[in-house]
Structure 1
Amino acid sequence: MSSVPRFFIEARLSETGQHVPLPPETARQVATVLRLRPGDQVVLFNDGGPQWLAKLADVDRGATTVRLVEQQASRPSPPRGVTLCQALLKGEKMEWVLQKGTELGLAAFQPVLSDRVIARKSETPERWRRILVEAAEQCGRVTIPRLLPPLPLDQVLRTQERTLLCWEDEHALSLLDALRSAPGDPLRIVVGPEGGFAPHEVERARAASTEVVSLGPLILRAETAAIAASTLALLTP
């Protein structure tokens, strides 16, 4: 972890010497939580542009400004763009998947409504967005994953993108073998809820040309399956 705090900011970051006001929530964190002072360094990024080393010019919990010092090299993105299509999970489990998936480098999250979903009511998009931003600040990436609106499983499967659905009762094709068959292609990984996918949902997935894959011989918790599948998809060349 870097010792210099990183913050996501909506403002345009363009040139050395530019003075940038921090949003009120970030200003409060700088002044009252981190207790930073004028001259202390922070790193700013704004979702896709270069990140900047900056120095605090004025520090106040309501009006803090920084001065941009220099652009910094950003960490490379994973070689494959991966969207995690995750059936809604209860409470903290879904938030944990969003956080860890962001840290791994997922490009997007597609919440899914399937037959066995228990958590029919999702958290507000604002809360989930905040989790993504905070995870991006922590892990060093300069992009925020896209957060798509929840969709029924059948709609998620109607796509031209390559889609792999993880199912505990699949034994013929492993996720790793499926990934190696088309290296580097962007894809979508579909993971079920706490009770898994129903057999008729898997059959509909096959009918929609979705590849059904295995994550191994053991039964994984939904949140474990999500992170295991995402890691394999992101790191397999």
Structure 2
Amino acid sequence: MPRFHCPGALSAGLSFDLPAGAARHVQVLRLQPGDELTLFNGEGGEYSATVERMGRNDVGVTVNAHLAVEREAPRAVHLAVGMPANERMDWLVEKATELGVASIQPLMTAHAVLRLSGERAEKKRAHWEAIAVAACEQCGRNRVPHVHPVQGFSKWLGSESSGARRLVLSLAQGTRGIARTGASTADEAFLVLSGPEGGLSREEDEQARAAGFAPVTLGARVLRAETAALAALVLLAGQDAD
């Protein structure tokens, strides 16, 4: 059944016009009055709904019932990533959303190719947020991970206060494997810091460790920046398949 993100209050019996993007998608799918669809607003669960009217540029629907369905990962994992270049950051946001990431913090680091500030940074954040929404519509998640505004590494490190268990992906010799970093409780959250192409600089790695980030490794193979962040996410978020 088609799924659409509709921010704002939803309740059984409510009739309203879909947001422009969702309306265009409904028209592309050639849905007709009487067809059913699923709506979610990111506040928990999802809603069954029915198409009531197909206009030239708008689509009217009526909400039927709330369904207390969640498809979140067993454990919250937040990613702070030195932004990889070109379309790789788009790919990372999409796949991390599908895999259950709780939030994504894009970072400008010493070795990062992508440099963003001001209006351009906000446009990129909005773009990544839209990618996360589309990924939730596709994969069945009802809670959209938050994509934070782009920050410089040092500023972010000095203000980070999530309370999650802190890990930094490291290639240093003697670093313990991430698989040995088991959570002590089922609801323990993780914050994983991962560098861009070329990794974090030595100074950034030292700053992270001084700020309480425990160094961990994904093994002997050198992974691409986007692959490393996703591998850590999968290993820490927990298995939710039957």
So what's the TM-score if we normalise by structure 2?
Answer: 0.89
Q: Could you tell me how far apart the structure 2 residues matched to 1:212 and 1:182 are?
A: 20
* CA pair 21-194 structure 1, distance change in 2 beyond 3 A: same
Q: Could you tell me how far apart the structure 1 residues matched to 2:54 and 2:85 are?
A: 39
| Contact map agreement 1:51 1:142 (CA 8 A) in 2 | yes
Amino acid at match of 1:190: L
Amino acid at match of 2:88: K
Residue 66 of structure 1 aligns to a residue in which SS? strand
Deviations 1:5-64 (A, max 9, x none): 00000232112x321210122112211x11111111110000113311111000124221
Q: CA deviation at 1:180?
A: 4.1
Q: Could you tell me how far apart the structure 2 residues matched to 1:179 and 1:206 are?
A: 19
Q: Could you tell me how far apart the structure 1 residues matched to 2:132 and 2:212 are?
A: 31
Residue 116 of structure 1 aligns to a residue in which SS? coil
Q: Could you tell me how far apart the structure 1 residues matched to 2:138 and 2:202 are?
A: 39
For residue 82 of structure 1, what is the aligned residue in structure 2? 77
The unaligned stretches of length 5 or more in structure 2 are none
So what's the TM-score if we normalise by structure 1?
Answer: 0.91
* CA pair 170-112 structure 1, distance change in 2 beyond 3 A: farther
For residue 220 of structure 1, what is the aligned residue in structure 2? 223
* CA pair 203-236 structure 1, distance change in 2 beyond 3 A: farther
Deviations 1:132-151 (A, max 9, x none): 11011111111111111122
Q: Could you tell me how far apart the structure 1 residues matched to 2:232 and 2:31 are?
A: 39
For residue 199 of structure 1, what is the aligned residue in structure 2? 202
For residue 134 of structure 1, what is the aligned residue in structure 2? 134
Q: What pairs up with 1:43-58 in 2 under 5 angstroms?
A: 43-58=38-53
- Equivalent residue in structure 1 for 2:61, among 66, 80, 87: 66
Deviations 1:66-125 (A, max 9, x none): 112222231342222211001111121000110011111111111111110011135522
| Contact map agreement 1:86 1:226 (CA 8 A) in 2 | yes
The unaligned stretches of length 5 or more in structure 1 are none
Tell whether 2:16 aligns with 1:14.
no
Q: Could you tell me how far apart the structure 2 residues matched to 1:129 and 1:197 are?
A: 25
Cα RMSD of the aligned pairs, angstroms, is 1.9
Q: What pairs up with 1:17-166 in 2 under 5 angstroms?
A: 17-31=13-27, 33-121=28-116, 122=121, 124-158=124-158, 159-160=160-161, 161=163, 162-166=165-169
Amino acid at match of 1:26: A
Q: Could you tell me how far apart the structure 2 residues matched to 1:209 and 1:29 are?
A: 45
* CA pair 125-116 structure 1, distance change in 2 beyond 3 A: same
Q: Which moved more, 1:115-124 or 1:192-201?
A: 115-124
For residue 167 of structure 1, what is the aligned residue in structure 2? 170
For residue 178 of structure 1, what is the aligned residue in structure 2? 181
| Contact map agreement 1:170 1:213 (CA 8 A) in 2 | no
Q: Could you tell me how far apart the structure 2 residues matched to 1:219 and 1:67 are?
A: 51
| Contact map agreement 2:125 2:150 (CA 8 A) in 1 | no
| Contact map agreement 2:45 2:70 (CA 8 A) in 1 | no
Q: CA deviation at 1:188?
A: 0.6
